[in-house]
Amino acid sequence: MLRLFTESLGAFLLSRLSGMPENPVMSFSLPGAVSGRNALNIFLSDMAENAELRSNEPEYDRSEFGFFALKPPLRLKCTYIVSAWPATGDTNEASLIQQELLSEAYRVLSSFSKLPAAFIPAPLKADDLPAPVIEFPKNVFQNRPEFWVSAGCAFHTAFSFCATVSLPAVQESYDHLVEEVQIGYQLK
């Protein structure tokens, strides 16, 4: 499901950047140049539960087979790193293309607090799932030199953002839930 979300995030971004003369393609692998094309790279660098947005109170539903605990959806906070990779070998022009691609990508993403419904994948459109939230918290991408060394690239300008995605939780069923208890005490 996270793959569908990441791909739809890329489709959303490309749809908003389709009029650019740089005409970028989208890449989701480790950051690096895409041969012969201007590219934007959206790399998923971290995932963690966003416990602040998740309710811990299950609801119970009865069916003919017993009771079901309806867990609230898991709120998964995904941190993405966005980088731009120009196709030109001219370092001056490459730097300017990179700046243009990154600034436009940042402008588009920061203009939306939620991913538009048209780009939300079908499994994430369930009525009980909140829409994915996009935010730009401070200091998410602190270890830049270490990241680029581990990715096998020279230091590169990039920005990061977080998208909180709601994933349906695994539901538990209880066949024999105690409905009533009667306790009797004998006094001596």
What is the tens place of the pLDDT at every residue in 52-89? 665 666 666 676 766 666 667 778 899 999 999 888 77
Helix residue ranges, H only, 86-182: 91-110, 144-151
As a whole number, the mean pLDDT across the chain is 80
Given a cut of 60, whether residue 159 has pLDDT beyond it is yes
Given a cut of 90, whether residue 140 has pLDDT beyond it is no
Cα–Cα nearest to 42, from 76, 96, 86, 85: 85
pLDDT tier for residue 30 given thresholds of 50, 70 and 90: confident
Q: Taking the domains of the chain in order of start, what are their residue ranges?
A: 2-172
Cα–Cα nearest to 61, from 71, 53, 52: 71
Strand spans (E) along the chain: 25-27, 39-49, 59-63, 66-70, 74-85, 133-135, 158-167, 172-174
pLDDT tier for residue 106 given thresholds of 50, 70 and 90: very high
* Amino acid (one-letter) located at 26: M
Topology, domain 2-172: STM4215-like (3.30.2000)
